[in-house]
Amino acid sequence: MSESIGCFENRIGSILCIAVIVAIAAGIGTPASANSGPKWVEGYYAGYDSTLLPPEDIDWNGLTQIVMGAAKAKPDGSIDTSFYQEDPAAGPVLATTISKYARENNTRPILMFGGAGDGADIAAAYQNNPTGLIANLTTTMKKYGYGGIDLDWEDSIDYAQFASFARDLRTSVKAADSDAILTMPVGCVNPNYASWNPPVVDPGIANVAQYVDQVNIMSYSPGTQQLGYGWWSWFNSPLTGEKVHTPVSIQNSLFWYNQSVDIVNNVNQGGAGIPDSKLGMGIGFYATGYAGNFPTITGPDDLTAGDTEAYNDNNAATDIPVGGDHNAYGGAPLSDFFAPGGDFAINQTYLTWSTEADEPYLALSNADPDPELYGAQFISFENPRSIIEKGNFTIDNGYGGVIIWTINEGYISADKTSNPRFGSVSDPNFLFEALQNGFIPPQSVTQVTPQSGPANSITNVTITGTGFSPGATGVTFGGIQATNVTVLSETQINATAPAQAAGTVDVVVSTHSGFATGPKLYTYTAAPAPASICLRFKAPYNIGNTAYYYWVCPIPPWVKQHLSL
């Protein structure tokens, strides 16, 4: 997924790019509200890289949502569902397999629609057959078992048309599946642009964003790394450290998308006015670097070729960004980078940590240049530490979550026989484990309110704990499934306890990370025994002025029968 839409070049060659994915909000025909609940971890699964990560090898514990890429528009409003497979019939099989595994592992599957270069077809389809396009998208989503639509409209955008499309699509999908959600990725922000031509974020983004649930920033290369006047070498996915010559960071982009905007009066102070809890960041599962002859870049904050155009690899004296997404710039997926005998294994003694950007990198100035990245000596990438740092930042600041482009590139497969440098690997999912540790808090069940209810009856309760991710919908009381389960936040769930016999039971919540058990937290109380009925007989005598009585408790059965009790 590239970041080619709505790009504006500023005076030092920086670029602001906007791309959008739509997410269905709760309620038909009404704007979406901010998600103040659990963090999302949304991984993109690219059909063209399915061999890098077979569906059966996906580590679902590190994901709450998976986006299958991609269904594409045809100008007549129909949908291409080949999903980048050479055999078109294989696309639906792959898409159905992904959604099946996702649902079995308590992860929401979302259908990606569009991609780089597809904007003209999307625009034509909506103009030529808007009703048909929306109906076909909704049908495709339901047919293949998905719980939302990811609209990746990257070019040829008319934002008024886009907002109408988002609104109408949301209405259609919600009618088909009331639980469906969508996500919306946008480009990372270059704040230098605001110095000369405010606002920083196109007002059209705010118009679309009001109809979505999640807005995720594609805060990874190439949007974070550029060349030309004033640009210095920088990181693939920098958390912090933005400045004039390296103006992009996750923290700063989140800031600008959160800035106020008055849509009604068309007054924009620079941002999109999106609540923090509705915003997510982006991570790229690939390495990047700079290659060329002049000047040689050996780390961050080195001057790039000042008079050259970005990505100009026709001039031997030009530094060019290399690596990146598996199908871009030759490709440097972390699946290869971290594999035994791969680039990191060869050069890990040169590992350095940037406290400015909270990112790792390799500085190879005293080593042989990386052979896999065209001789690059400054190589930027993600590792478990940087992923967990981003998760902590998200939780500490109340942001919504993260997207990963792509999860295919993060699986460190043991099968690397095509390259003799690669060997076996003992933990192929260590990057997914970092996502889980950073973004998905440990789960626990600590309290149920009320703590008890009548046996053989249902009772509405609130469950308190931690780590209740968006898919934590499996709740049991003594092994029996609860109903009406609603995740309110990371720490609370509403549910209806099922009817069962008297006794004290465990309460278990299933999450993306497994199961959280609250031992003996809920008691089914037995109904009290009915009051005894007694008979009182007056004695046939008095002693002084005192009368005496005889009590028979309980009443003998033969007396009850005689008295019809």
What would the pLDDT profile of 490-526 be if each residue is shown by its tens digit? Answer: 789 999 999 999 999 999 998 766 678 999 999 999 9
3-state secondary structure of 228: coil
Q: pTM of the predicted model, to two decimals?
A: 0.78
Shared domain check, 107 and 44: yes
Q: Report yes or no on 65 lying in a domain.
A: yes
Question: Average pLDDT in the 141-170 region?
Answer: 92
Shared domain check, 257 and 241: yes
Question: Average pLDDT in the 401-414 region?
Answer: 90
Q: Report yes or no on 311 lying in a domain.
A: no
Share of the chain above pLDDT 90, in %: 46
What would the pLDDT profile of 260-291 be if each residue is shown by its tens digit? Answer: 644 444 444 566 788 898 899 999 999 988 87
| Candidate from 43-47, 180-184, 406-410, 416-420 with smallest mean pLDDT | 416-420
N residues, the chain: 565
Q: H helices of 351-510, where?
A: 384-396, 430-439
CATH at residue 247: 3.20.20.80
Give me the pLDDT at residue 425, please: 63
| Candidate from 93-107, 367-381, 539-553 with smallest mean pLDDT | 539-553
Shared domain check, 254 and 144: yes
Shared domain check, 555 and 484: no
Place 531 in a pLDDT band, splitting at 50, 70 and 90: low
Shared domain check, 540 and 401: no
- What is d(CA 397, CA 379) in angstroms, rounded to the nearest whole number? 29
Q: Which of 405, 434, 460 is the last residue of a domain?
A: 405
Shared domain check, 487 and 543: no
The domain tally of the chain equals: 3
Shared domain check, 554 and 451: no
Q: Report yes or no on 312 lying in a domain.
A: no
Q: Report yes or no on 387 lying in a domain.
A: no
The parent domain of residue 117 ranges over: 8-285+392-405
Query: Interior CA angle at 286 toward 412 and 218, to 5°?
Result: 130
User: Peptide bond preceding 295: is omega within 30 degrees of 0, i.e. cis?
Assistant: yes
What would the pLDDT profile of 304-337 be if each residue is shown by its tens digit? Answer: 864 333 332 333 334 455 666 654 444 688 988 8
Place 488 in a pLDDT band, splitting at 50, 70 and 90: confident
* Contact yes or no for 140/132 (Cβ under 8 A): no
Shared domain check, 177 and 69: yes
CATH at residue 492: 2.60.40.10
Place 34 in a pLDDT band, splitting at 50, 70 and 90: very low
Shared domain check, 61 and 20: yes
Residue 549 burial (CB count, 10 A): 8
Q: Report yes or no on 363 lying in a domain.
A: no
Q: Report yes or no on 371 lying in a domain.
A: no
Give me the pLDDT at residue 197, please: 57
Q: Which of 384, 405, 426 is the last residue of a domain?
A: 405
